[in-house]
Structure 1
């Protein structure tokens, strides 16, 4: 390994484990690498700008703003109410409401932290009031959040599509079945937990009139995914254009239909969304420069060769790849990880004959699990802030839900049809 590569890795690992924000870790490591390589620092600025010059990346601030508008416009609350009417009478039904609501909201926001915040803020106090342990409720909101990264419109799938130069529409389709499997698994966890506790009783079955009333109140919330995804797969607009349509839709429904959002509120909501978008775009820009630097030092090639040298059996290689990605997802921001490791992962996938869409889904699902995995899972931080519980306490209640995600990950890994069935229909 060259002196430049050693300097880059040493700086990055030292600063990251020292608690520095990931974007600054990447930026400082890039600067040190350029100095050691005796390259002008202006290269860093050039690569930062080049890393953001993609039309598809415009979808990210669009979907973030759409998710915030829908949350403040009352759409998430109506989704929860409709889901309550569907499953509240089942044993463990209130926990299932959290999962089902998160699944619906995932088809609107595309973000794990946003899904955890929108649904957890409503359901964690509600579940505790009905007899569920607060740590279990917070863990369930944490584990449900990453469904937002699997089901379209997923922000990480958009980023992987840009990095790997793959069809974002096909990647969106590849995430649907895994996301639904995780949701079903989490609902099963709720059922088992309810049966074991003996305290959480099923509510009375919703009457037809109550169901129709909830459906009428939530019809605009339920229509949102159909508008967004139907437009994409009906070739009416691209995923990037869909983000703008989602913003317009959320604005009209929140202000003029539900009337829970005032024009005066828009400035505050837009500023909050801009902060989130700026953080993500800053990480993308810095990670692009860092990724370019390690690419010219041939680190991705060395990592790929090291993994492939362990075994020539694709089953073993896929298992090692999963373990590697789960570790990366638990300690590193998933957006930065995809950009930095994109070249390495695509090289490994090509070597073992992995379908590029299958590989993309595999990468995103691994890193989505990392969003709920200690110590650096963003959804975990969001749930801790909402529930006012420590990360350690939530983590102890989280393990059955993480086990569900791991089982789905193994299905996705070794049964390609789980991710490729829907894209094959599109093809």
Structure 2
């Protein structure tokens, strides 16, 4: 392997450890490579940065971000919380189950795990404390539940993966439903066990009558139709995944008109938030595209392919090694950036070992979702703790059972492909 690419990779890690913004860290590493290779025209760096952000499928990112932001201004969140509370509000650990269900249902509307975690931390953690839960447990539950968001369609991670690896984004949307539901169910089981052991029983009685369930369901019905519209529309060919994003925006504006809770000021504020969030994502993608070009030019993917074929010519061992590698990388590098750099290396390897491309995509996305709550650089951990004022040490201690559960789900997803592919095969 060339010295220049090795030095650039080391610099990238150093920058990230020093908490330099992610896109500057990656761009700095790419610029170092080009500076050391004077025979390569430096204009190529600028070309790769621009080309990395000009992929047609990536247009879906600002569309879905905008739709998710608008959803938060339409009163959708409150309606979904009311519906979830009417369904599971009175069982042991009721408000904890509500948190998990809200994260699952909102994941199909927003596509952004950080936005969902911030919203739930503000709304539900104070309510959990009021009903007897500890602040640390509530914070961990919100952060862990937000992992479901990248898995449930239309997750931004699926759009990025599909555009890089040339995998059908529509199929990835469908594939995410299985892992998302598994994580939702297992988290609810863990909440029930912890609540039973610690005596988390609310003194506040919630109305869970059939009349209230029906009333709240009617309020939440229209927002919950969005994932069905997106997947159904893509499947029947009414629109592409990119066009589905614009459909989602129109639908969110329609809900704002129906519910009469979104003003013109909210629309303007939502557009500003969309620009800021989308810009942050696209800057990372653009910078990572230049670095990925350098890796490809130095034949790093071929080098790793040869290494795996020579020493680990077994799909099971390959998947175990990939899981361990991605879990470690996810602790230090933002998931979308790591995906852009590593997927071109790993996807050809998975293909060589005969691993289904949809199955492997969900394993990669799940791994990077776990990295978002793992110390020392987990973004979900920092966002949630900054809002709830939960000490980081208490958060990590409280999160241990959740980490064990998530690792068990990862192994299940890794070695039982049907959890990812069964629905895809059924629908497609």
Using structure 2 for the length normalisation, give the TM-score: 0.96
Corresponding position of 1:217: 219
- Deviation per CA, 1:282-306: give whole Å up to 9, x if none: 0000000010011111223323433
**How far apart are the structure 1 equivalents of 2:308 and 2:207?**
53
Helix, strand or coil for the counterpart of 2:176?
A: helix
CA shift for structure 1 position 205: 5.8
2:13 maps to 1:13: yes
1:85-100 matched pairs, under 5 angstroms = 85-100=86-101
CA shift for structure 1 position 204: 5.0
CA shift for structure 1 position 199: 4.0
Helix, strand or coil for the counterpart of 1:43?
A: helix
**How far apart are the structure 1 equivalents of 2:390 and 2:236?**
44
Corresponding position of 2:284: 283
**How far apart are the structure 2 equivalents of 1:27 and 1:175?**
31
Corresponding position of 1:371: 372
CA shift for structure 1 position 201: 4.1
Corresponding position of 1:243: 245
2:24 maps to 1:31: no
Using the TM superposition, name which of 197-206 and 125-134 deviates more: 197-206
Helix, strand or coil for the counterpart of 1:374?
A: coil
Using the TM superposition, name which of 204-213 and 92-101 deviates more: 204-213
- 1:111–1:149 Cα contact (<8 Å) kept: yes
CA shift for structure 1 position 371: 1.4
- Deviation per CA, 1:84-110: give whole Å up to 9, x if none: 001112111210100001000011112
Corresponding position of 1:234: 236
Aligned CA-pair RMSD: 1.5
Helix, strand or coil for the counterpart of 1:218?
A: helix
2:296 maps to 1:295: yes
- Deviation per CA, 1:294-341: give whole Å up to 9, x if none: 111122332343344442232122111100011111111111111111
CA shift for structure 1 position 57: 0.5
Using structure 1 for the length normalisation, give the TM-score: 0.96
**How far apart are the structure 2 equivalents of 1:366 and 1:61?**
24
1:121-136 matched pairs, under 5 angstroms = 121-136=122-137
1:399-410 matched pairs, under 5 angstroms = 399-410=400-411
**How far apart are the structure 1 equivalents of 2:199 and 2:266?**
44
**How far apart are the structure 2 equivalents of 1:125 and 1:149?**
25
**How far apart are the structure 1 equivalents of 2:329 and 2:45?**
24
- 2:97–2:188 Cα contact (<8 Å) kept: yes
- 1:5–1:33 Cα contact (<8 Å) kept: yes
Number of corresponding residues: 426
Distance 1:100 1:278, change over 3 A: same
Distance 1:204 1:111, change over 3 A: closer
CA shift for structure 1 position 385: 2.1
Helix, strand or coil for the counterpart of 1:159?
A: helix
Corresponding position of 1:155: 156
- Deviation per CA, 1:204-256: give whole Å up to 9, x if none: 561111112212222222222222233222322111111111111111212x2
CA shift for structure 1 position 278: 0.1
- Deviation per CA, 1:132-184: give whole Å up to 9, x if none: 00110110010011101011111101111010001111111111111110111
**How far apart are the structure 2 equivalents of 1:236 and 1:368?**
30
1:5-404 matched pairs, under 5 angstroms = 5-38=5-38, 39-201=40-202, 203=205, 206-254=208-256, 256-404=257-405
**How far apart are the structure 1 equivalents of 2:179 and 2:334?**
21
- 1:194–1:201 Cα contact (<8 Å) kept: no
**How far apart are the structure 2 equivalents of 1:369 and 1:307?**
24
- 2:150–2:156 Cα contact (<8 Å) kept: yes
- 1:76–1:221 Cα contact (<8 Å) kept: no
**How far apart are the structure 1 equivalents of 2:206 and 2:46?**
61
**How far apart are the structure 2 equivalents of 1:389 and 1:371?**
17
- 1:52–1:281 Cα contact (<8 Å) kept: yes
**How far apart are the structure 2 equivalents of 1:307 and 1:337?**
20
- 1:3–1:36 Cα contact (<8 Å) kept: no
- 1:170–1:357 Cα contact (<8 Å) kept: yes
Poorly superposed stretches of 4+, deviation over 6 Å: none
Helix, strand or coil for the counterpart of 2:68?
A: helix
Helix, strand or coil for the counterpart of 2:187?
A: helix
